[in-house]
Amino acid sequence: MYLASRTRLAALLAALAVGATGVTTWAYGRGGAPEPTALGAGLRPSVTEGTVVQVVAHPDDDLFFMNPDLSRSISTGVEVATVYLTSGESDGRNEAHGPHLEDPARPADRAAYAEARQNGIRAAYAEMATGDRTSAWRRTAVPTAGGGSAEVDVLVARPHVSLVWMQLREARSISGDNPDSLRGLWDGGVTALGSQLTSGTPVSAPFSYTKEQAVEAIAGVFARYRPTTIRTQDPTPGRSPGGAFLDHQDHVYGARFVQAAAERYAKSTDAGAGGAGFGGAGFAGRPHFSVQNYVSYPNSSLPPTLGPQAAEEKLGYLKTYAWTDRRDWCGSPAGCGDRKTATRPTGAGWNQAIRYSRGDGTSWLTEGVSGRLWAVAVLDGRMAYWSRGGPGTPWQGPRFLPGAGMDTGATAARLPDGRVAVFGTRTTLGATPGEYGRALVYAVQSAPDGPFGPWRSLGTPDTKDIPGTSAISAPAVAVDPAGRLTVYVRDSARTLRARAQATPDGAFGGWQSLGGAGLQGDPVTATDSAGRRHVYAATARSVLAWIQPSPDAPDAPYTPDVSDAPLRGPFPTGLPATTGPLSASPRGDGVGLYFRLPGTGAVGTTLVTADGPGPSFSPVTGAGGEGGYGAVGVAGHLLTGRAGAGTAGLSGGPGGAPSWSESQMLYTGAPAAVAQPDGTAVAAALGLDAGLHVTAAPPAGSGPLGGLPPSSPWHGAVPPPTVAQAARAGSGWQR
């Protein structure tokens, strides 16, 4: 029952190698890999590097909502530290839920139940790292920058794996207004939140944190581990029509504390890391970092994203955590796992899903003036950009636009004169709870290849939303032939909203309501060969479409009794359910729409044409290869996305028998791709090391089976500096 994580990963890789008939798989850096062509000669293939710090509210949030990203990171050998903000003590009874299973006469022991959950987590992590749930841990108490103490557990056999237990009191209610909670601490319901120490912890004395101290304590953990990737939950999952959060309040407010701590860590320049503890708030020379947010409870109502093997692997670790076999392997009176989870270790279907609440867009790579490429992404809470002058020239970057508070996820758009516009959303934490909010912002180059102008705000369509809960999506951006920009976002009510320029470089008009209901993820847009704009957004059951009836029709709500109405929709597409993230790209006479199919994660595609009163969709076809998850970057016939083992994969896409290649690199967010005038395609991904990684593929049809094998392996766009260069840099570029 308890298989080694590496064995499970190998099984996934083996499944990829088998594939469908006529599909081949190779991996640079592995036996049997093809030799790179001259373009790729001398390049060091990318492998997974960096340091990952995960911060979750409760023990098991990582196993339910961040796996298989978690297990695959551990398997690569990168440093992984998971921080648990609360002890997850609940009602203090370590027993299964359900009729005849609970014993109301059993006395509550919150310290013991919290210890049982710790035991289960240590077992699951030991199994992911070594295959042996009983593998030993070294447990110590460490002072924090907030004036308290944390328990730090290091896996002896794999010391790159650590667990940090902050041991704060949990809310003990999914949505109840309990002041003694992370929510109460953030909103000012209490001035300090106390600890809930577990039985058996090396932390000897209770403590409490003010809001300021809690932020400082988490920032101190970041300073100790120096992450290049921070994983956390969703600070703005939205609310139900009745006003209740769509997620556990500890998940929401824990993520907000992480936002505040990451912002503080990013700004810190103190020398030293506070010794062996968590006393330092940062130091010069810290590496760049990205942030990945994960969907939690809302996965229950959405289609499964994982294939059967990945879901079964994830379930195995959850069963270990839940102590389903009841064997007393740990010798603790508190129990060896979380028995509340034992009756349903799948959660509410959570073992079959993993989703990113932000950063799943693929439109962050674009061409400016002919041949010059621009990539944008959020690092350190700031908008970063890289650029390349032309084929064969080196990439430069990252450079940064001014201003902090940027959310994960960025969109780049090319204007007709070759300038680039960058869009994203910015969260303002504010001095009071009511000032917490999110707005759409953009910046445009002053001239082709020139500097970016200042950030300008487009505000938010959520003017009637309860303050501090804006769940607007990342933007999709369209540019008309005159250079007018239009942005599309999903608002907190799950409808489509738009805001457009009346003139090129002019002011934007007000927010328009374009309808739709139950929209998920980010909208996407593309323009077909006739100049008609298409906009698509996924729902839990299908996909909705909005399409211009003519190239020059401005954006406005559809009016049924006007024959020349502008952008029309939403149209029901009749497409099957998708796992959420969509990609759209011009193809032939229409637009190719790309998505993953629930339950397998296989890539599906359809061609959308708009010659009649409404859109027409070709039958959905597969793009070859085994399943994965997350968005798919598209450039012509080039597809890139997560392969079954979580690494960056590349395919020739539709036409012939597409072949998929797989790298040895895990990445964050979604990949992007762009086709250049000569037909060469370039793909980019942000690695767990917070570095830009790229690969190139020749024009369609030049490879075996009509596919597009890489002409260079995935490799770091900007090579690490030499020792001398790093010394001259002073502040230190690190990866």
pLDDT for residue 11 is more than 70: no
Cα-Cα-Cα-Cα torsion 34, 37, 42, 46, nearest 10 degrees, comes to -50
% of residues, the chain, pLDDT over 70: 84
- 459 φψ region: left (φ > 0), alpha (ψ -120 to 50), beta (else): left
Q: How many helices (H) and strands (E) does the chain have?
A: 9, 38
Q: Would you place residue 290 in the very low, low, confident or very high pLDDT band (cuts 50, 70, 90)?
A: very high
How far apart (Å, rounded) are the C-alpha atoms in residues 19 and 657?
12
Q: Output 499 or 554, whichever has higher pLDDT.
A: 499
CA neighbor of 470 nearest in space, from 242, 239, 261: 239
Q: Find the mean pLDDT for residues 570-582.
A: 95
β-sheet bridge partners, residue 661: 26, 650
Specify the pLDDT at position 272.
36
Question: Residues 63, 65, 68, 73: is their CA dihedral positive or negative?
Answer: negative
How far apart (Å, rounded) are the C-alpha atoms in residues 234 and 411?
20
Q: Find the mean pLDDT for residues 157-161.
A: 98
Q: Would you place residue 37 in the very low, low, confident or very high pLDDT band (cuts 50, 70, 90)?
A: very low
How far apart (Å, rounded) are the C-alpha atoms in residues 332 and 348?
29
Specify the pLDDT at position 551.
76
> For domain 368-729, which CATH number applies: 1.10.1050.10, 3.30.565.10, 3.10.310.10, 2.130.10.10?
2.130.10.10
Q: Position 480: which residue type?
A: D
- CATH 2.130.10.10 in the chain is located at 368-729
Least confident of 119-123, 273-277, 471-475, 509-513: 273-277
Specify the pLDDT at position 285.
73
Q: Would you place residue 658 in the very low, low, confident or very high pLDDT band (cuts 50, 70, 90)?
A: low
Could you tell me where the beta strands, DSSP code E, fall in 161-287? Answer: 161-168, 193-194, 208-209, 229-233
Q: Would you place residue 561 in the very low, low, confident or very high pLDDT band (cuts 50, 70, 90)?
A: very low
pLDDT for residue 537 is more than 60: yes
pLDDT for residue 21 is more than 60: no
Q: Find the mean pLDDT for residues 484-496.
A: 96
Cα-Cα-Cα-Cα torsion 361, 365, 368, 373, nearest 10 degrees, comes to 180
How far apart (Å, rounded) are the C-alpha atoms in residues 735 and 537?
36
pLDDT for residue 731 is more than 70: no
- CATH 3.40.50.10320 in the chain is located at 43-99+107-352
Specify the pLDDT at position 530.
92
Please check whether the domain covering 43-99+107-352 is classified as CATH 3.40.630.10. Answer: no
Q: Would you place residue 433 in the very low, low, confident or very high pLDDT band (cuts 50, 70, 90)?
A: confident
Specify the pLDDT at position 28.
28
Q: For residue 485, what are the CA distances in angstroms to 95, 165, 236, 500? A: 57, 47, 27, 6
Specify the pLDDT at position 728.
42
**Do 705 and 659 touch, CB atoms closer than 8 A?**
yes
β-sheet bridge partners, residue 86: 168
Length of the chain measured in residues: 735
Give the β-pairing of 437-444 and 229-233.
Answer: unpaired
Q: Output 554 or 458, whichever has higher pLDDT.
A: 458
Q: Would you place residue 3 in the very low, low, confident or very high pLDDT band (cuts 50, 70, 90)?
A: very low
Q: How high is the mean pLDDT of the chain?
A: 86
pLDDT for residue 424 is more than 80: yes
How far apart (Å, rounded) are the C-alpha atoms in residues 416 and 481?
7
Q: Position 79: which residue type?
A: E
Q: Find the mean pLDDT for residues 519-532.
A: 95
Q: Find the mean pLDDT for residues 233-244.
A: 87
How far apart (Å, rounded) are the C-alpha atoms in residues 492 and 488?
13
Q: For residue 304, what are the CA distances in angstroms to 354, 572, 580, 641? A: 8, 22, 10, 17
Residue with tokens 């959950």: 117
CB contact set of 245 (below 8 Å; sequence gap of 6+): 175, 237, 238, 239, 252, 469
Residue 120 φ/ψ, nearest 5 degrees: -65, -40
What are the tens digits of pLDDT across the range 363-379?
999 999 988 999 999 99
Specify the pLDDT at position 560.
38
Residue 492 φ/ψ, nearest 5 degrees: -70, -20
SS3 18: helix
CA neighbor of 523 nearest in space, from 583, 563, 609, 612: 583
pLDDT for residue 25 is more than 50: no
Q: Would you place residue 35 in the very low, low, confident or very high pLDDT band (cuts 50, 70, 90)?
A: very low
pLDDT for residue 85 is more than 50: yes
Specify the pLDDT at position 271.
31
The helix, strand and coil proportions of the chain, stated in percent and rounded to the nearest 5, come to: 20, 30, 50
- Cα angle vertex 694, ends 15, 579, to 5°? 50
What are the tens digits of pLDDT across the range 325-356?
999 999 999 999 999 999 999 999 999 999 99
**Do 79 and 688 touch, CB atoms closer than 8 A?**
no
% of residues, the chain, pLDDT over 90: 74
Q: For residue 198, what are the CA distances in angstroms to 116, 177, 318? A: 9, 24, 21
Residue 576 DSSP label: P
Specify the pLDDT at position 179.
96
How far apart (Å, rounded) are the C-alpha atoms in residues 495 and 480?
23
Specify the pLDDT at position 269.
59
pLDDT for residue 145 is more than 90: yes
SS3 36: coil
Least confident of 56-65, 276-285, 298-307: 276-285
Q: Find the mean pLDDT for residues 97-125.
A: 83
How far apart (Å, rounded) are the C-alpha atoms in residues 518 and 530?
30
Specify the pLDDT at position 376.
98
3-state secondary structure 37-51: CHHHCCCCECECCCE
Least confident of 227-241, 448-462, 549-563: 549-563
Residue 226 φ/ψ, nearest 5 degrees: 50, 60
